[in-house]
Structure 1
Amino acid sequence: MNYEALRAVFRRTNALLGTDWSMHDLRHTAALRMSRDKRLTLRDVQTILGHAHLGTTADVYLVEEEEQVIARVQEYLADREERAKRPAPSAAAAGYEASDLAVLFGGGQS
């Protein structure tokens, strides 16, 4: 399908649905989806879109929904709290003599 044929499809569809979608809207939607796909880097998306500068791609497509950011922060905080509850590994378990660590960290010899 050539460019004019696709534009005609959009005109007919927009008239039928009462919308105002364009081929650029499809490009933008595809780019947003690609930028959120963990298998693609932002550099990959830049290359696909043909942007000369990575900043152009980042400024437009590194947009996250507030709910996603909040969910990640909550997950981070919950994980941090869980790690804080775990006992610190002992010096012996790490393979060091407690007296050596005391000297190293300024506690003197024990």
Structure 2
Amino acid sequence: MSRDKRLTQRDVQTILGHAHLGTTADVYLVEEEEQVIARVQEYLADREERAKRPAPSAAAAGYEASDLAVLFGGGQS
């Protein structure tokens, strides 16, 4: 149960009847070091990939440049 993504740690705590979440975490949520390393590597790779992408323009986000100018002190055009 503790590895099922559909259940939270709190869910598992309640099901097992633990008074403290720390008990659940200490006993049942221990992960293999390889799993932790793989997740961190995936996170870092994804973060690096996102950093390479250009930021979306205001027009792509659905805002008119003139509206943004008014909102952010650029005056009306």
Shorter-chain TM band? 0.5 to 0.7
Relative contact order higher in (CA < 8 Å, ≥ 6 apart): 2
Runs of 5+ consecutive residues of structure 2 not aligned to the other structure: none
Q: 1:69 to 1:109 in 2, by over 3 A?
A: farther
Cα distance change, pair 71–106 in 1 and its aligned pair in 2 (3 A): farther
Superposition deviation, residue 71 in structure 1 = 0.8
- Cα distance change on mapping 1:40 and 1:95 into 2, 3 Å: closer
CA–CA separation in structure 1 for the residues paired with 2:75 and 2:34: 50
Deviation for aligned residue 1:95: 2.1
**Shift in Å at residue 104 of structure 1?**
4.5
Answer 1 or 2: which has greater helix percent: 1
Deviation at 1:102, TM superposition (A): 4.9
Q: Which runs of 4+ in 1 moved over 6 A?
A: 106-110
Q: Deviations over 1:22-72 (max 9, x none)?
A: xxxxxxxxxxxx211223322332233222222221232222222111111
Shift of 1:92: 1.4
RMSD across aligned positions (CA):
2.6
Higher alpha-carbon deviation: 86-95 or 67-76: 86-95
Q: Given the superposition, is the C-alpha separation of residues 107 and 82 from structure 1 closer, same or farther in structure 2, using an over 3 Å criterion?
A: farther
Structure 2 CA distance for partners of 1:41 and 1:96, relative to 1, 3 Å:
closer
Aligned length: 77
- Matched residues, percent identical? 99
Please identify, of 68-77 and 100-109, the stretch whose mean Cα deviation from structure 2 is larger. 100-109
Bigger Rg, structure 1 or 2: 1
Q: CA 1:107–1:45 in structure 2 vs 1: closer, same or farther (change >3 Å)?
A: same
Q: Distance in 2 between matches of 1:59 and 1:101?
A: 50
